[in-house]
Amino acid sequence: MASQSAPESVFDHVILLIPHSQLISLPQWLSDAFTILDGGVHEGGMTENKIVVFEDGVYLELIAFVDGLNPQHRAMHPWGKQPDGQIIHWAHTILSREEEGSNKSEEKFRAVQARIEDSQVGIKYLDPEPGFRTMADGSKRIWANAIPNFDDYKGPIHINQQPFWTFDRTPRSLRAPLTPENTSQPSGVVGVAGISLFIKDEQVLDTMVPFYNAIFNNPGVKESPSSNVTRYKWEAAAPAHPEFGQRHFFLYQGTKEAFTEEEMSEANGEVPDIFIKLSLYTKGKAGSVQGTLVKGTLITFDLIPVTSL
């Protein structure tokens, strides 16, 4: 249950796009590290998913476009042009107290929409639209998503340079079931430490800083982790278990800094214009979960021990 002081902007889930064949038969590096739950088929039948639910209430969504999908149909999907094998997006939500009713979060979102319009970046969020996924037993998990609109935005458009928003219309406990069995991870992972967005174009980054100030309703803290790296940091939150440590959203200038030597080698030195990484809290040792889903992209989840906080 959210408290009176619960922040408006809460990490909801992170999306990893994978080939359908690997969703059906998961690679060992994923199944050895995470407890992976069956998901369902999304409205329209173009995609289906499985999920990894963490103790802090955030989940990692493994999503795939179904085999045999017409490429033109795929291209019409918001994520249809995104490459398989990497984190492509993430969602925020707003928590409401149980006694406030299920629609209160969507009402609270209006204040976020107004702040973002006031930031004059040229991006605004449309009102939430319903969607669902159908489980194997025929039951539905229903939500409403709010996606960005770029009609007044003058810069290059990346669908994943900002989050979308998800609001439950069936209980969140159905969409992200927080039971000890579901959230116990072989890797010891208990939750999200940070989401990092790396943007190559400095002008785009400068535009996005006021946007994220509006998202989090606080100014970002400018930092220089090293001589050639600039980033902005905002304090974020998760749906549950704040005791694991602070969560942060990081906005970096430059995408090369997102890559380790191993990742650069796998990518043959080529880096995208925009890139997302996820760091996780663990009850185990510092390290990482690494693996590939497609040639050319090495996925790395950095693991940060809870005991080191």
Query: Terminus-to-terminus CA distance in the chain, angstroms?
Result: 25
State the Cα–Cα distance between residues 166 and 170, nearest whole angstrom: 12
Confidence class for position 106, pLDDT limits 50, 70, 90: very high
Q: Tell me, what's the pLDDT at 156?
A: 84
CATH class label, 187-308 = alpha beta
For the residues of 221-247, what is the DSSP string, one character each? EEEEEETTEEEEEEEE--SS-GGG--E
Write the pLDDT tens digit of every residue in 218-242. 999 999 877 778 899 999 999 987 6
What fold is seen in the domain 10-175?
Answer: 2,3-Dihydroxybiphenyl 1,2-Dioxygenase; domain 1 (3.10.180)
Confidence class for position 259, pLDDT limits 50, 70, 90: confident
Q: Where are the chain's structural domains?
A: 10-175, 187-308
Burial class, 25, CB count within 10 angstroms (exposed 0-12 / middle 13-18 / buried 19+): exposed
Distance of CA 42 to the CA centre of its chain: 18
State the Cα–Cα distance between residues 288 and 60, nearest whole angstrom: 16
Burial class, 30, CB count within 10 angstroms (exposed 0-12 / middle 13-18 / buried 19+): buried
Residue 257 pLDDT greater than 70, yes or no: no
> Are 116 and 126 in contact, with CB atoms under 8 Å apart?
no
Q: Tell me, what's the pLDDT at 54?
A: 97
Beta partners for residue 86, in sequence order = 17
Beta partners for residue 10, in sequence order = 93
Topology agreement, domain 10-175 and domain 187-308: yes
Residue 1 pLDDT greater than 50, yes or no: no
Q: Which helix (H) or strand (E) holds 73?
A: helix 71-76
Write the pLDDT tens digit of every residue in 148-202. 999 999 888 888 999 999 999 999 999 999 999 999 999 999 999 999 999 888 8
Identify the residue with better confidence: 41 or 96.
41
Q: What is the dihedral of CA 192, 182, 93, 27, to 10 degrees?
A: 60
Distance of CA 111 to the CA centre of its chain: 22
Q: Which helix (H) or strand (E) holds 225?
A: strand 221-226
Identify the residue with better confidence: 100 or 71.
71
Identify the residue with better confidence: 255 or 135.
135
State the Cα–Cα distance between residues 218 and 232, nearest whole angstrom: 12
